[in-house]
Structure 1
Amino acid sequence: MGTWSQPNTEEKAAKLERLMAKPLLKKDASDKLYHLTGDDDLFDFFEEFEEDADVRLLVRFHLERALDNLHLSYVTWDEAAIAICKRIIEA
């Protein structure tokens, strides 16, 4: 298990924000999120849902956990990326 990608740059966070603006179906989520917020635990949770389920709430919870644990992150986070991710969580 592990994390291989995080929305830690402004560019990646902005792409994630655009993606999260409309329903994100389980059947598409892993492919669309792979390079933005790739995480085994998150992707495993997707398996609990139907193919046409909107999984944005799971992504928001994952982001909130990531932001709460920035001190444990293996990558540096841009301040702009943090702000964008906070907007995503609050949406």
Structure 2
Amino acid sequence: MKIVIETEVQAPLATVWDTWVTPNDITNWNFAIDDWCCPRAEVNLEVGGNFNYRMEAKDSSKGFDFEGTFTKIESNESIHFKLGDNRVVIVEFIETINGV
């Protein structure tokens, strides 16, 4: 099964890319709802490198590590990675008139 999710960010491509791959930035945006946070992000941005994002409820009632291994990286174009359960994820960065 293939799932596609799209969003548009109104910012330059270089800014969006850097925000996606920089640990300090990841901790500021990587949570689905305001009741959660990402207190820690580790990124080894190279093929075969790993990432680990700690996800936690702000009330500390639950949390988990979101982690995987990078399988392909095309700077400012795409990031491919495999999660621990073998799901494959491809993130594409496509410039539009309004941003990325």
Q: TM-score, normalised by structure 1?
A: 0.31
**Rg bigger for which structure?**
2
Structure having the higher strand fraction is 2
Structure having the higher helix fraction is 1
